[in-house]
């Protein structure tokens, strides 16, 4: 193909010196730099681009913008394959591959075109009515078969590895659309000093000025637009965003916008494909213009049938030669288009208008006439025009439909506002205030002439500037055409055969009338019954006509019928753009320990604990599974010594004369009686009486405490303590701050931990549950004697920058004592052997008493959660209590998450006796151990109960026992 | 005896891509100061967003009733304020260059117009809690939790690469 | 959605954590009785209109009481919860 359908010298956007090659359905096509896929294909005479959704009818290009209902294609390959791309917005580039969609076989010979012959059976509701019986067939047979045949493009199945971006922008005024109204609004506001963002969907700003090319202020439309854009571009308070579609209006002046950043670039590299903007604007002006609508007449969907505005754009912007043109219009803008095209040497074979208009033009005019049919299998060949004298077949290559204009008011409806019907325009127009802070200017509020748009831009900007407390400078409105707009609504021509309303979803006037007839008379029901407006174009070209046909069928009138709701996004937004940056490392922050590099170097697999990464175990040579390493680490801790990075625990510094009083209020137990230099285990409840978290509380000085939280609940506890402080005792002399990140903290556990301390030069004369400041080679550090393993245990905290170094030192020291580093697996085994709880047990539905810590709720003082903890439901017998579980047959394994039943009971909800929260293989006791909750468990010690894991199909008999399996007296821990 | 060696939070800095650069920085000692109700400190305390000179360092507003004294040893404020050492709690980087604002806009919902030179703010950089201090029109000091330093590097470099790549469109 | 933090000014809602109705500020006495505690913990209005609820501005750690309209989404006022005690 060789661009046979180009008009010499025309085409504002194309650079004829830069040919671009791409492929369509495997065939190499040449266009010019600046072409869209649609314009390049049209310039090469290719009118058929797609097959329709339901009937697989040949379809072409209808518009020159994002609203196109028909020209959807699939582009690129591999991980970048993108379905349902509008050929009218995809710019061509070297190497672009595009394919037609929704066909079996070739585009010309689509086997599913048989659906078109079967069309009489495929009326609205066809699927609901036909595939009812037998019932079971729906899921297994009908739906899969229908789904295979339906749909448009396909996904590659690969991860999309391309770069996408999200970004924020802030301004005083966001102007949406850079046509005559938007340009004047932006100019007026920018000259007054407002910080302005002007966003426009197209590649070049100017809107209809570029297509219709009216004279503005003595210049051609495109020249005036270019000059105005240049002035705006030179202003530091203006940001111009082209290829950017504002997709949604949200609360408080926040707008979503999709920028096509690199979709037109052959090898984007680091360049994002798209950027999703969140634009925060104090005020906004919607100047998005208006969208033309077709007229439903028989066979109005052939390739070659376009909207008049789309045709004009393709001629003006890309120099596409449409051949002989028939224009079918019900309004003055269609007539203006006919004159405009004639003046440019395009042959208007017929101008058809149902109105009684004078027949004094330079082209054949059929007044009081309608188009009643078309012919041409793969593209338009003849147009049937029915007039007073009968029906004439007029040969034509292009049929331009001009059914009137719908203001592009979609964004004004995004916060539930409803537009109003304007009879004189036969269109809906926005009401003021539908979205707070958003004004509407120009054609978007029904001011259709160029002069009216220019003036409205100045006027609306002036109103907005007053809101922004800025003074508008005098901005003269340039002169331009001010033709009145007269329209005689004609929605559908009834002449037998199918007349399309919604080209994207193949909805015809018959379908809408059938919906009304079958009782789906509300516009929302009609939409869902027929699927009108539910395609990727969201019915931009069909909604108003469809509801007009519905209104006719029900006799209700259009204002009473109303519109369906327009919701964001205005154009389809790729998930890639919405989720930009959220893949892999960008998914969530990675919190790395100071020991991280060393642990990984030692071969430790890392597991996630909240946002932290912690070593699972430290395999030695020959240890091929976690279990071997874990057993060895547990044994080494019990027999010698181990070290473990515990920096992930939350640390909150609490200071002030009322610090103790405050802690008494947030903890169930009493911290005010704790002596400086001592540590106490503490329990916190939520206000509803359930356990929130546990941890230790160290009194570093009279007015200075250090609270530790579990890793999982660190943020939650900080927020909770902030709440209690700010809501209930903001006047107390207490201050809280997180110091989690300031300290690297390592546990030492085992009978030889004191020897390790000694080798580091630390005197370990600390009593159990004591704490002290120490000097570690000149570094001020802290030493705590606490244990989560049941062994004699210490924790050493140093400023974080020394963490890596201390870990190395501890490793050498523990190795010298026959010990090792231990990971999360061993840590878990050690604590289960001792019956210490974690958030597996304090999971949000247990009370202090449930976990055996009821005595920790002090009777002498109020605390958060105390009143609610004494509610009848939380104190009655029959609650599930924490117990230990051991298999009756030593060799059997236990599984967490399993439920517990009396030995002979069926595994039903009614029979449930409890559940298992944690399990571990204990090398110390030589069997699996479990922690769990059993109804009245503390009074059932020694009973045998059945562990039943329905998911894993695992059943074991277990004995209920004390949760402290090992060293119940705690002699080892106290030393 | 043990001889502890200090390390630095960032592994991949400095980094310069296009018209933006980022480098790790050492702000000196950082002390959080949280005055008790009604206490009179021997120095002015910053209002929200304020950065005040304090001795050889600066007193940076860092959250509700909190200021970070940076680059200067903490005075004795016993009984007047909660005082904690935060020197090791935060990793600090300096982002600068003509594209500083563009890079920040990829990561952070903050309106830079509300952060004039010489002020600070608490905000989020993607998911990272952060303190930002604007020290020059095109320079921003960013503090994040030290354990998240690697993620900050990742987020900054990704944003810087994407912003720089737009130069090919000009 | 944007919320004016009394400390930090207008911020995107991503910076905030929602907590619930501001009823939580009116904590009953320990011995106020089951009904009072039940109301405090569980009974909430769900107005179509003006409501008051609690939000935490995570970056600056302020708890704030927000008065807003559930129909229009307008934020009518915000105030730090601490002001009630300080």
Q: Name residues 582-641 of chain A within 8 A of B (Cβ).
A: 585-586, 588-594, 611-612
Contact call for C60 and B63, based on CB within 8 A: yes
Please say if the pLDDT value at position C85 is more than 70. Answer: no
Distance CA A918, CA A932 (A): 7
The shortest C-alpha distance from C51 to chain A (Å) reads 17
Average pLDDT score over residue span B141-169: 96
pLDDT digits (tens, 9 = 90+) for A123-159: 777 666 666 667 777 677 777 776 666 667 888 899 8
Q: Please say if the pLDDT value at position A683 is more than 80.
A: yes
pLDDT in tens, A788-845: 999 999 999 999 999 999 999 999 999 999 999 999 999 999 999 999 999 999 999 9
B64 and chain C: CB distance < 8 Å anywhere? yes
pLDDT on residue A731: 95
Tell me what the mean pLDDT of segment A28-50 comes to: 97
What confidence score (pLDDT) does residue A128 get? Answer: 66
CA distances from A69 to A25, A260, A534, A573 (A): 20, 20, 11, 16
How, if at all, do strands A58-59 and A735-738 pair?
unpaired
pLDDT, one tens digit per residue, over A890-944 is 999 999 999 999 999 999 999 999 999 999 999 999 999 999 999 999 999 999 9
Mean pLDDT of all residues in A561-589: 92
CB proximity C76 to A under 8 Å: no
Q: How many CB atoms lie within 10 A of CB A659?
A: 26
**Which residues, at least 6 apart from B71, have a Cβ–Cβ distance to it below 8 Å?**
B27, B28, B29, B56, B57, B58
Computed on alpha carbons and rounded to an integer, the radius of gyration of chain A in Å comes to 37
The answer to whether A581 touches B155, Cβ cutoff 8 Å, is: yes
Chain C contact for B124, CB < 8 A?
yes
Q: Residue A181 — left, alpha, or beta (φ > 0 → left; ψ -120 to 50 → alpha)?
A: alpha
Q: How far is A436 from chain C (nearest CA, A)?
A: 9
Cβ atoms within 10 A of the Cβ of A488, count?
Answer: 13
Q: Which of B123, B130, B142 to mutate to test the interface with C (most CBs of C within 10 A)?
A: B123
Q: Is B48 on the interface with C (CB under 8 A)?
A: yes
| C79–chain A Cβ distance below 8 A for any pair | no
Question: Residue A206 is encoded by which pair of tokens?
Answer: 């100017």
- At the topology level, CATH places domain C2-85 in Folate-binding fold (3.30.2270)
Torsion of CA B140, B143, B146, B150, to 10 degrees: -30
A735, B36: Cβ pair inside 8 Å?
Answer: yes
What is the pTM (predicted TM-score) of this model? Answer: 0.95
Quick check: B68 contacting A, CB < 8 Å? no
**ipTM beyond cut 0.95:** yes
Delimit the domains of chain B by residue range: 16-26+89-168, 30-87
Q: Which residues of A touch B2 (CB under 8 A)?
A: 760-761, 776-777, 806, 809
- pLDDT for the residue A113: 77
The total of other beta-carbon atoms located within 10 Å of residue A889's CB is 9
* Interface subset of A 777-816, CB within 8 angstroms of B: 777-779, 798-802, 804-806, 809
What kind of architecture, by CATH, is found in domain B16-26+89-168?
Answer: 2-Layer Sandwich (3.30)
Q: What are phi and psi of A716, to 5 degrees?
A: -60, -45
**Closest-CA residue in chain B for C11?**
B110
Taking only the tens place, the pLDDT of each residue in A48-98 is 999 998 888 999 999 999 999 999 999 999 989 999 999 999 999 999 999
Interface test with B, best of C2, C4, C8 (most B CBs within 10 A): C8
pLDDT at A161: 87
Residues of B in contact with C7 (CB under 8 A): 48, 63-64
- Max CA separation in chain B (angstroms): 61
What distance in Å separates residue C23's CA from the closest CA in chain A? 11
Closest CA to A167 of A109, A237, A244: A244
Contact A157, A79 (CB under 8 A): no
Which positions 158-197 of A are in contact with B (Cβ < 8 Å)? 163, 165-170, 195
Residue B132 token pair: 């930002």
Residues of A in contact with B147 (CB under 8 A): 591-593, 612, 741
What pLDDT does residue A763 have? 87
Q: Where are the alpha helices (DSSP H) in A234-307?
A: none
What average pLDDT score do residues B38-63 get? Answer: 96
Determine the Cα–Cα distance for residues A131 and A138; give it in Å rounded to an integer.
7
Q: Do B64 and C7 touch (CB under 8 A)?
A: yes
Tally helices (H) and strands (E) across chain C: 1, 6
- Tell me: the pLDDT tens digits for A588-646? 999 999 999 999 999 999 999 999 999 999 999 999 999 999 999 999 999 999 999 99
B109 touches chain C (CB under 8 A): yes
- Strands A438-440 and A274-286, sheet pairing: parallel
Ranges of beta strands (E only) in A807-866 are 820-821
Angle at A482 between CA A478 and CA A487, to 5 degrees: 150
Contact C58 B129 (CB under 8 A): yes
| Lowest mean pLDDT, pick from A577-586, B101-110, B138-147 | A577-586
Cα–Cα distances (Å) from A263 to A19, A164, A521, A536, B106, in that order, read 18, 11, 42, 19, 19
Cβ(A162)–Cβ(A273) below 8 Å? yes
Q: CA-CA distance, A542 to A731, in Å (whole number)? A: 63
* The Cα angle at residue A525 between residues A523 and A527, in degrees rounded to 5: 70
Quote the tokens at residue A800: 């974080």
Give the C-alpha separation, C35 to C12, whole Å.
38
Collect all residues of chain C within an 8 Å Cβ-Cβ radius of residue A688. 41
- What are the pLDDT digits (tens) for A239-295? 999 999 999 999 999 999 999 999 999 988 999 999 999 999 999 999 999 999 999
Q: In this complex, is the C-beta atom of B30 within 8 Å of any C-beta atom belonging to chain A?
A: no
Q: How far apart are CA A900 and CA A908, in angstroms?
A: 10
Nearest-by-Cβ selection for C37 from A278, A731, A868: A868
Q: What mean pLDDT, rounded, does chain B reach?
A: 96
Q: Flag whether pLDDT at A114 surpasses 90.
A: no
pLDDT at B170: 73
Give B76-98 pLDDT, tens digit per residue.
999 999 999 999 999 999 999 99
Give A508's Cβ-side CA count (13 Å radius): 22
Residue A220's SS3 state is strand
B123: chain C residues, CB-CB within 8 Å: 8, 11, 15, 59
Nearest CA in chain C to B109: C12
Residues 6+ apart with CB under 8 A from A195: A170, A171, A172, A173, A237, A238, B113
Average pLDDT over residues A716-732: 97
CB contact under 8 A, C60 and B37: no
Taking residues A435-464, what's their average pLDDT?
97
Q: Is the dihedral of CA A124, A127, A128, A131 positive or negative?
A: positive
- Average confidence score pLDDT of chain A: 95
Residue A562 has pLDDT above 90, yes or no: no
Residue closest to B122 by CA, chosen among A751, C62, A353: C62
Which residue among B48, B66, B129 places its CB closest to the CB of C8? B48
Identify the three-state secondary structure at position A820: strand
Q: Above 60 in pLDDT, residue C86?
A: no
CA angle A836, A842, A847 (to 5 degrees): 110
Instruction: Say whether residue C14 is in contact with chain B using an 8 A CB cutoff.
Output: yes
Q: Give the residue from chain B lying closest to A592, CA to CA.
A: B147
């Amino acid at each position: 193909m060789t661009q046979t359908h180009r008009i010499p010298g025309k085409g504002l956007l194309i650079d004829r010196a830069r040919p671009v090659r791409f492929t369509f359905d495997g065939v190499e096509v040449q266009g010019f730099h600046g072409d869209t896929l649609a314009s390049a294909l049209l310039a090469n005479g290719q009118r058929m681009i797609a097959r329709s959704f339901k009937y697989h009818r040949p379809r072409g290009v209808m518009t020159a913008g994002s609203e196109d209902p028909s020209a959807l294609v699939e582009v690129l390959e591999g991980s970048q394959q993108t379905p349902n791309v509008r050929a009218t917005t995809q710019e061509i580039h070297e190497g672009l591959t595009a394919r037609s969609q929704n066909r079996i076989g070739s585009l010309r010979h689509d086997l599913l075109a048989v659906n078109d012959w079967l069309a009489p059976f495929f009326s609205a509701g066809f699927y609901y009515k036909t595939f009812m019986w037998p019932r079971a067939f729906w899921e297994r047979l009908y739906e899969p078969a229908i789904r295979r045949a339906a749909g448009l493009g396909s996904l590659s199945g690969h991860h999309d590895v391309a770069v996408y971006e999200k970004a924020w922008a802030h301004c005083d005024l966001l102007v949406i659309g850079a046509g005559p109204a938007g340009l004047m609004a932006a100019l007026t506001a920018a000259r007054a000093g407002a910080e302005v963002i002007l966003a426009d969907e197209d590649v070049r700003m100017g809107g209809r000025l570029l297509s219709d090319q009216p004279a503005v202020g003595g210049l051609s439309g495109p020249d005036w637009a270019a000059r105005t854009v240049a002035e705006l571009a030179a202003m530091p308070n203006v940001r111009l965003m082209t290829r950017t579609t504002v997709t949604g209006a949200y609360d408080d002046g926040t707008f979503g916008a999709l920028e096509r950043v690199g979709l037109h670039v052959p090898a984007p590299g680091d360049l994002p494909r798209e950027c999703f903007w969140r634009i925060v604007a104090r005020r906004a002006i919607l100047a998005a213009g208006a969208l033309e609508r077709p007229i439903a007449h028989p066979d109005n969907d052939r390739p070659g049938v376009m909207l008049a505005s789309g045709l004009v754009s393709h001629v003006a912007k890309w120099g596409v030669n449409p051949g002989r043109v028939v224009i079918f219009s019900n309004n003055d803008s269609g007539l203006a288009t006919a004159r405009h095209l004639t003046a440019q040497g395009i042959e208007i074979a017929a101008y058809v208008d149902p109105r009684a208009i004078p027949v004094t033009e330079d082209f054949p005019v059929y007044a009081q006439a309608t188009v009643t049919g078309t012919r041409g299998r793969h593209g338009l060949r003849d147009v049937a025009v029915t007039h007073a004298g009968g029906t004439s077949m007029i040969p034509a290559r292009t049929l331009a439909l001009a059914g009137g204009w719908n203001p592009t008011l979609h964004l004004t409806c995004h916060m539930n506002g409803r537009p109003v019907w304007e009879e004189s325009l036969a269109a809906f127009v926005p009401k003021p205030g539908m979205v707070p802070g958003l004004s509407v200017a120009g054609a978007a509020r029904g001011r259709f002439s160029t002069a009216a748009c220019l003036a409205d831009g100045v006027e609306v900007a002036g109103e907005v500037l007053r809101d922004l407390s800025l003074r508008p400078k005098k901005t003269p409105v340039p002169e331009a055409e001010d033709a009145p707009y007269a329209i005689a609504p004609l929605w559908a021509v009834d002449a037998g055969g199918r007349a399309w309303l919604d080209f994207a979803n193949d909805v015809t006037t018959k379908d809408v009338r059938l919906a009304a007839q079958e009782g789906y008379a509300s516009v929302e029901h009609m939409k869902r019954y027929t699927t009108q407006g539910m395609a990727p174009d969201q019915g931009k070209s069909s909604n108003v006509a469809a509801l007009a046909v519905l209104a006719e069928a029900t006799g209700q009138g259009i204002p009473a019928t109303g519109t369906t709701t327009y919701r964001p996004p205005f154009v389809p937004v790729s998930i890639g753009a919405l989720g930009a940056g959220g893949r892999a490392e960008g998914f969530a922050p990675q919190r790395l320990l100071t020991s991280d590099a060393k642990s990984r170097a030692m071969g430790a697999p890392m597991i996630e604990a909240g946002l932290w990464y912690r070593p699972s175990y430290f395999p030695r040579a020959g240890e091929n599974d976690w279990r071997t390493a874990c057993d060895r680490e547990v044994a080494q801790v019990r027999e010698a010594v181990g070290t473990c990075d515990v920096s992930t625990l939350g640390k909150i510094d609490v200071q002030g004369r009322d610090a103790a009083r405050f802690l008494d209020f947030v903890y169930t137990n009493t911290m005010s009686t704790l002596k400086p230099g001592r540590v106490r285990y503490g329990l916190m409840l939520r206000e509803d009486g359930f356990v929130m978290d546990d941890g230790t509380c160290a009194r570093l000085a009279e007015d200075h405490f250090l609270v530790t939280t579990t890793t999982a609940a660190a943020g939650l506890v900080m927020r909770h303590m902030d709440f209690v402080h700010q809501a209930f005792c903001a006047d107390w002399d207490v201050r809280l701050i997180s110091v989690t990140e300031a300290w690297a903290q390592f546990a030492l556990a085992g009978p030889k931990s004191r020897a390790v301390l000694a080798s580091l030069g630390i005197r370990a004369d600390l009593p159990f549950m004591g704490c002290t400041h120490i000097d570690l080679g000149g570094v001020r550090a802290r030493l705590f004697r606490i244990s989560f393993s049941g062994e004699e245990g210490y924790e050493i905290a140093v400023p974080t920058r020394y963490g890596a170094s201390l870990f190395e030192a501890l490793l050498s020291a523990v190795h010298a004592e026959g010990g090792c580093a231990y990971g999360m697996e061993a840590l878990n085994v050690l604590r289960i052997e001792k019956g210490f709880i974690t958030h597996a047990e304090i999971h949000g539905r247990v009370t202090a008493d449930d976990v055996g810590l009821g005595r920790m709720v002090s009777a002498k003082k109020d605390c958060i959660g105390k009143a609610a903890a004494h509610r009848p439901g939380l104190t009655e017998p029959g609650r599930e209590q924490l117990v230990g579980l051991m298999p009756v047959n030593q060799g059997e394994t236990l599984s967490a998450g399993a439920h517990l039943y009396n030995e002979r009971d069926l595994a039903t909800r009614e029979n449930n006796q409890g559940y298992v929260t944690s399990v571990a293989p204990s090398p110390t006791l030589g069997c699996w151990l479990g922690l769990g909750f059993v109804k009245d468990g503390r009074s059932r010690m020694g009973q045998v109960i059945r562990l039943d894991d329905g998911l894993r199909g695992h059943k074991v008999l277990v004995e209920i026992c004390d949760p402290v399996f090992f060293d119940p007296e705690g002699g080892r821990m106290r030393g | 005896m043990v001889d502890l060696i200090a390390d630095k939070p960032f592994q991949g800095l400095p980094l310069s891509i296009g018209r933006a650069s980022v480098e790790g920085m050492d702000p000196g000692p950082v002390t959080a100061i949280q005055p008790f109700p009604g206490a009179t400190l021997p120095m002015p305390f910053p209002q929200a967003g304020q950065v005040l000179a304090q001795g050889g360092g600066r007193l940076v507003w860092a959250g509700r009733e909190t200021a970070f004294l940076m680059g200067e040893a903490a005075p004795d404020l016993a009984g007047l304020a909660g005082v904690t050492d935060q020197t090791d709690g935060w990793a600090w980087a300096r982002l600068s260059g003509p594209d500083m604002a563009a890079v920040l806009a990829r990561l952070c919902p903050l309106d830079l117009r509300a952060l004039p030179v010489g002020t600070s703010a608490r905000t989020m950089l993607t998911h990272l809690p952060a303190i930002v201090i604007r020290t020059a029109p095109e320079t921003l000091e960013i503090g994040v939790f030290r354990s998240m330093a690697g993620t900050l590097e990742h987020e900054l470099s990704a944003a810087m690469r994407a912003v720089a790549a737009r130069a090919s469109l000009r | 959605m944007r919320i004016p933090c009394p400390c930090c000014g207008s911020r995107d809602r991503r910076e905030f954590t929602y907590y619930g109705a501001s009823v939580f500020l009116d904590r009953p006495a320990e011995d106020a009785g089951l009904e009072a505690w039940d109301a405090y913990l569980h009974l909430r209005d769900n107005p179509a209109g003006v409501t008051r609820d609690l939000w935490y501005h995570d970056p600056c750690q302020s708890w704030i009481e927000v008065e807003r309209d559930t129909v229009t989404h307008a934020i009518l006022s915000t105030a730090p919860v601490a002001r009630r005690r300080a």
